[in-house]
Amino acid sequence: MKIAFTSDEKNGLESTMSYHFGHCPYFIIVEIEGNKILKVESIENPLAESHNPGELPSFMKELGVDIIATGGMGPRAQEFFKQFGIKPIIGAYGKVKDVLEELVGEKIEVNEGKEISDGTGHPHEHIPIDNVEDEIRRLKMEVAELRKEIAEIKSLLKNR
């Protein structure tokens, strides 16, 4: 089974979930069998800047995705995914690994006992505020950082 997770970063299982599927910068695609991870890949969302209704569900179908997990998605988009045979999971937040464990219902095992991650994990750089677009970009980056912090706190609380 393949599950696509919307993400704010390209950091594999340690990525922070994005709250909107259509404009997320990355998708983390996890292939699982039972509770074992077979493969993890981080891909850029080629339609993040603009897309027509149904394009992302079609793209996910081409990738062989069975489930898409995200923070938010409108009813029309959910219907498109269902038409392509992809089950949408709405309201997911935190780290991809934690959400995956919630979906599977148990701890997950990475194939061959190795952590799979293809991301760089570089922190965001601060940008100067020269105009409104720069301020919007800065605020989006700040929101992404807050999501990471929330994901880390959730992960810490889960492991108590």
Q: Angle of helix 55-62 relative to helix 75-83, nearest 10 degrees?
A: 30
- Residue 84 within any structural domain of the chain: yes
What pLDDT is recorded for position 120? Answer: 35
For the record, the structure tokens of 17 come out as: 């979930």
- Residue 148 within any structural domain of the chain: no
Which has more confidence, 144 or 26?
26
Q: What is the CATH number of the domain that holds 113?
A: 3.30.420.130
- Residue 8 within any structural domain of the chain: yes
- Residue 156 within any structural domain of the chain: no
- Tens-digit pLDDT profile for residues 13-62: 999 998 888 888 999 999 998 878 999 999 999 887 776 778 899 999 99
How many CB atoms sit inside 10 A of residue 92's CB?
A: 21
- Residue 139 within any structural domain of the chain: no
Mean pLDDT of 111-119: 37
Task: Using the predicted structure, report yes or no on whether residue 127 has a pLDDT greater than 70.
Answer: no
Q: How far apart are CA 28 and CA 9, in angstroms?
A: 9
- The number of domains in the chain is 1
- Residue 44 within any structural domain of the chain: yes
Mean pLDDT of 122-139: 52
Q: Is the dihedral of CA 140, 145, 147, 148 positive or negative?
A: positive
- Residue 69 within any structural domain of the chain: yes
Task: Using the predicted structure, report yes or no on whether residue 159 has a pLDDT greater than 70.
Answer: yes
- Residue 138 within any structural domain of the chain: no
Q: What is the pTM of this model?
A: 0.70
Mean pLDDT of 3-14: 93
Which residue segment(s) compose the domain that 44 sits in? 2-122
